Amino acid sequence: MLVCGVKMRCAICLISLLLILSGTACREQVTTDQPLVRVDDRAVSVARFEQAFRRSLSADEHPDPEQLRQLRRAFLAQLIDRELILAEADRLDIRVSPAEVAEMERAESRDYSDGELDAWLKRQGLDRESWRRQLAEALRIDKVIDRQVRARVHVDEADIAAWYGEHRDQFDRPEQVRARQIVVAGREQAEKVLARLRQGEDFAEVAKAFSLSPDAEQGGDLGWFARGRMPDEFDRAVFALARGQLSGLVQSPYGWHVFLLEDRRPARRLKLKEARAEIEERLRADAEREAFGRWLEDLRHRARIQVDFARLDKLRAD
């Protein structure tokens, strides 16, 4: 699925909102329909609000009139928050260049042919130009959050150390192994594969040639895993091996396997320096979420927000 938005670097994420709301608002002087919502100089018309709201509903949703009323009001609250952020971007004169939009367009569409992209846009009721406007607004939102929220959040080393001290048990790691596998359909072929390995053929090359598993392209590499992460048949075979040892034939619902144990890590607790990056990311996400909430509340207090609730409740229920 294409994402018409920016991949945020923290828990603050308005992407789902951008998918359905971008293009619903404009500066007051170019609004042609009577506005339903005004946020400072930004306005959202009744027609554009209803179009965006209908796009937000999934095809299998069939809410009754009261549910529709409540859904519209919840949608309106999200829209107002988004417009508050864009109004702040207007106030700060935050802009994006055509090159930035073009780069984002390339990134968002690189896995799709032109035909696939056009078909997806058509389903969303968009053309290329309106989609580019969505991308530009997404970039502006990300820039203003970067400037007003993320740039003002700092995580101290003392906080990281304190969090580690209070949550040491969260950094206990069980015994892990790294193994490779070859899986084939029948026992006879599995015996031939095992014979080749015992004669000294390279496990990874044999896996690439014969294994039916998707990891065959990586030479059968299963990566690191602890007990309980793989099927029981895998655990019983692999955890009983010594480093560098081949298993015998192992049958599972997937076929017949041969395993090679490449390495083993004993159970241990991560040290602070090993856990630091994970803790910093967690604390930063929490701090950014709180800072974003405070910032958004401040925007609400400072903004001129007008909503025609009578018009909102008169919108058709079907």
Helix (H) or strand (E) holding 295: helix 272-302
178-236 pLDDT tens trace: 999 999 999 999 999 999 999 999 999 999 999 999 999 999 999 999 999 999 999 99
What confidence tens digit (pLDDT) does each residue in 267-285 have? 999 999 999 999 999 999 9
Q: Phi/psi of residue 154, each to 5°?
A: -130, 140
Q: What is the pLDDT of residue 33?
A: 65
Q: What is the DSSP letter of 229?
A: S
Segment 126-133 shows an average pLDDT of: 89
Tally of residues, the chain: 318
Whether CATH 3.30.1130.10 fits 175-266: no
The proportion of the chain whose per-residue pLDDT surpasses 90, expressed as a percent, equals 69
What residue spans in the chain does CATH classification 1.10.4030.10 cover? 15-153+306-314
In the predicted model, what is the mean pLDDT of the chain? 88
**End-to-end Cα distance, the chain:** 28
Q: Is 182 exposed, middle or buried (0-12, 13-18, 19+ CB in 10 A)?
A: buried
CATH hierarchy code of domain 15-153+306-314: 1.10.4030.10
Q: How confident is residue 255, by pLDDT bands cut at 50, 70 and 90? A: very high
Cut 0.85: pTM above it: no
- Residue 141 in contact with residue 82, Cβ under 8 Å? yes
**Mean pLDDT on 65-85:** 91
Lowest-confidence pick of 89-103, 124-138, 211-225, 244-258: 124-138
Residue limits of CATH 3.10.50.40 in the chain: 175-266
Chain position carrying tokens 């203003």: 144
What pLDDT is stored for residue 14 in this prediction? Answer: 46
* Residue 236 neighbours by CB distance under 10 Å: 12
What is the structure's pLDDT at 265? 94
Report the pLDDT value the prediction gives residue 16, as an integer from 0 to 100.
42
d(CA 269, CA 293): 35
Query: In Å, how far are 50, 60, 309, 311 from 318, measured between CA atoms?
Result: 12, 14, 18, 16
- Whether the pLDDT of residue 1 is over 80: the answer is no
Q: What is the pLDDT of residue 21?
A: 52
Q: Which residue, among 274, 280, 272, has the nearest Cα to 10 in the 3D structure? A: 280
pLDDT in tens, 152-180: 999 999 999 999 999 999 999 999 999 99
